[in-house]
Structure 1
């Protein structure tokens, strides 16, 4: 078995894929988007292609989308993630579109590409504050603004359409926990510090202009993070801080209700996106609203879910939810992603979690 990894220069995903491939002693070849990946497909004849798009720069992300489509069109080789998942990855307008088309519950969201229409929403359409503003792409609390009033909203619209673009956090996320230990880790590890400084530089460079999303604010003390990878399900709470759960990295690992798993099973089946993280608001009357869907997502703990304090997953068999204990989320879920990708492609492998 040979795997071709196509990644952007700034993608951070490929190293996790390499860890998963080396664990099973699989052959792999890496190609940057800027390189001649066509030649490598022809030369090495991979059994599967794995794509790692850019998550900083929407223009480079669109370039990757074009390559993904070229692989599908011109080569008889499976590619992971599938294009339905890639299309909405770091593309909030496209996500909003498919949620509406498939009648999936979500907060009211409005997308504008013109300055005047953005202002019109602020002064004529938006009836109450706070509201949430989002850039086209951005995760972990990057590219999200909590707007308390019309003055803040008007300033943001001007900055997006007439100024430097959507403001992004440049330095460390002060909303995350373990501030002292994180700071000490960077001071004592120059390589980690340089990597972070480089990431901050890229965020500063890639400020998005000319488009903005406004989203209804849903008061919440937490979001549900539900991960589905194939037939494996995980769920935990992302605890809100300063009004938002995105980017806080504060977690709650109590046993999740089966209703949240059932909700994600139904909508992921409907969307045919079965390898992604689904971030959900839970309303006061117990309903779920989709906030984000990302096929690539972060993992700050060695597990995605605890049941009775032990790492576990849920699977759905014979119309029942069944818990299974084990290290299923190891390597930030990339081993499980690889298993799912190979299974979908019909490629024999030796990945186990026992």
Structure 2
């Protein structure tokens, strides 16, 4: 099993980690807008009225730009569910105890979670990544050991992570994406598991996007009104206590984030560095995506936001980024479930783009006047 100390040995010191992380950021290039005209012409030549497949055409265009390929391939998919515990759970901000995090990881590893069912249904492979669960797991098929620590520190009392720990988590996530690219995957998806993680996610949104936390703090696992007000108080306290650490996106992620959220951010950056599109799941995964976009704005073009979460505040976050998620099913589970469902839509868009006949090839008359 990979111990936290062995992960730290990958980097000799913080300046070295910062240099490697900057190299990763520099490798992320904007999506290829030069392909837009040719891809749009191909879509317009398909045997249908122009634009009649709506967002499927938009998705296909984005996929072409992201991959840099006019004839994109999409046959191999993987979802990575990042898991981590949070010190802030001790504040009673969740309806479930922290022990549920490792229990749910075991449930995923045994095939019993919602993400197992939906990933299988979408034809996606699934890995569970231990970024920082307060439990030692045995070596198990489908488990990727990248533990940085046994849960974060309590953000209501100080920073969740050190900058060094955050960089380790970011680079670990990036490494997982790069390994997936080397293994031939064409589309990746994010998921997460971590009791109390809507609290750090909300704090991150508040600081990174300048949104009042009271307007986006939600019920998470189903807390009542009294506990929701307490949760808002905890988030406000965390932001106030950590304000001196939040001068940069990296500092904010370290102070208010989580090991799994940082892992997701790194996963996105690693994928973007090799032009590998990523499907972002719900409220927590979006926090990792926002962190990634703040660290490297060019990464945004590689992201497909899978669904509008039913968690309060997700709509506000999506609107602030000018994003219209693919699905709206009132989901609020996480795990990667929305991402798995959205993969069906994305794959359908690419199959339309690649497999549908064109007017020029099918001897079908086009619209008069064109």
Q: Give the TM-score normalised by the residue count of structure 1.
A: 0.29
Query: Higher relative CO (CA 8 A, sep ≥ 6), structure 1 or 2?
Result: 2
More strand by share: 1
More helix by share: 2
